[in-house]
């Protein structure tokens, strides 16, 4: 079985459910509060574990109760945790979820900000022995670049989720096999205004000109689009009733990575990923909303 390595963040999500997202300076009442294991890296790792992939994670959590809860969540989803360092205080995410399903998030990085290039060097065997490496940007950018350099040295496929979005160098992008941004992230990466499908394709081609092999842009209810040097493939979204969009993007990325490691074409992997994300948005929470492979097979979406 192909080995997937996630290098990224682990956060405890402190989730507040509200009627709508509050305006600046506004105080509103919440109907419910939940503590849910999260973090973009951990969400993606858990999703791939639930989808039957062989997954390991490199990251850092605190020596507190939240850290233990995050490690248990990964292990319960068949994610190998021998690459996770325990030190300091666990990262947290304060999340407001509106009745519409939309959310906003404030991150407290905690231990995620403390992972170093030296930590990566000490765990580099895991990069060498993996087939696909997946990263996000909730850990220090210098660490992301260092992992990319090592992955390139061993000719590994690197999938990058550029979130939270920040300026990325050509040097880093040249190591990226697949970059998976949403519309907003794509616009910020390319410093362009994305208002149409033509804008999405133009901006995606700009990233390809900088060295990325393929761009997969997630478009929410409008689906996704895959752009390479040779093809432009539009992937429709499944029509579902949205409850909570938390972890939808992470689940799409996980589904796409699992599809690729199973030998699917880009298009089939993206369709599979879209189904995974389509199920996730019908449920509350981050990791708790992610379906198993059996559930994917049983659920019929249109």
The per-residue pLDDT for 237 is 86
User: Does 12 appear as a known binding residue?
Assistant: yes
pTM: 0.90
Q: Does 25 map to a domain?
A: no
Query: Which CATH number covers residue 252?
Result: 3.40.1190.20
User: Does 249 appear as a known binding residue?
Assistant: yes
Joined together, the tokens standing for residue 300 give: 């019929």
Contacts of 299 (CB under 8 A, 6+ apart): 275, 279, 291
Q: Does 29 map to a domain?
A: no
In the chain, the percentage of residues whose pLDDT exceeds 90 is 78
User: Does 40 appear as a known binding residue?
Assistant: yes
Q: Rounded to an integer, what distance in angstroms lies between the CA atom of residue 223 and that of residue 228?
A: 17
Q: Rounded to an integer, what distance in angstroms lies between the CA atom of residue 267 and that of residue 192?
A: 26
Catalytic residues: 250
Q: Rounded to an integer, what distance in angstroms lies between the CA atom of residue 174 and that of residue 212?
A: 6
Report CA-CA distances (Å) from 224 to 142, 185, 282: 29, 14, 18
Convert the pLDDT of each residue in 100-156 to its tens digit. Answer: 888 888 889 999 999 999 999 999 999 999 999 999 999 999 999 999 999 999 999
Q: Does 224 map to a domain?
A: yes
User: Does 268 appear as a known binding residue?
Assistant: no
Domain that holds residue 154: 3-9+39-89+111-298
pLDDT at 287 over 80: no
What is the domain count for the chain? 1
- 101 conformational bin, left if phi > 0, alpha if psi -120 to 50, beta if neither: left
């Amino acid at each position: 079985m192909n080995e997937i390595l996630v290098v990224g963040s682990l956060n405890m999500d402190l989730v507040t459910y509200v009627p709508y997202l509050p305006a600046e300076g506004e105080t509103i009442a919440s109907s419910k509060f939940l503590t849910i294991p999260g973090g973009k890296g951990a969400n993606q790792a858990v999703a791939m574990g639930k989808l039957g992939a062989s997954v390991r994670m490199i990251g850092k959590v605190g020596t507190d109760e939240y850290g233990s809860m995050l490690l248990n969540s990964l292990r319960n989803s068949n994610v190998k945790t021998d690459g996770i360092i325990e030190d300091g205080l666990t990262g947290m995410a304060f999340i407001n979820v509106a009745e519409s399903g939309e959310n906003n998030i404030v991150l407290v990085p905690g231990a995620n900000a403390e992972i170093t290039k030296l930590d990566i060097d000490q765990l580099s065997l895991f990069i060498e022995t993996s087939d696909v490496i997946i990263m996000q940007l909730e850990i220090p950018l210098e660490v992301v670049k260092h992992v990319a350099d090592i992955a390139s040295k061993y000719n590994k496929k690197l999938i990058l989720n550029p979130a939270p979005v920040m300026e990325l160098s050509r040097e880093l992008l040249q190591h990226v096999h697949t970059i998976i941004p949403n519309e907003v992230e794509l616009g910020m990466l390319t410093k362009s205004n994305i208002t149409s499908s033509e804008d999405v394709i133009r901006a995606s081609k700009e990233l390809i000109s900088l060295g990325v092999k393929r761009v997969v842009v997630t478009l929410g209810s409008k689906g996704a689009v895959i752009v390479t040097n040779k093809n432009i493939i539009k992937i429709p979204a499944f029509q579902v009733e949205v409850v909570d969009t938390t972890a939808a993007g992470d689940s799409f990325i996980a589904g796409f990575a699992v599809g690729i490691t199973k030998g699917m074409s880009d298009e089939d992997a993206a369709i599979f990923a879209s189904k995974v994300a389509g199920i996730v948005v019908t449920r509350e929470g981050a990791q708790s909303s992610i379906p198993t492979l059996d559930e994917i097979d049983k659920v019929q979406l249109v």
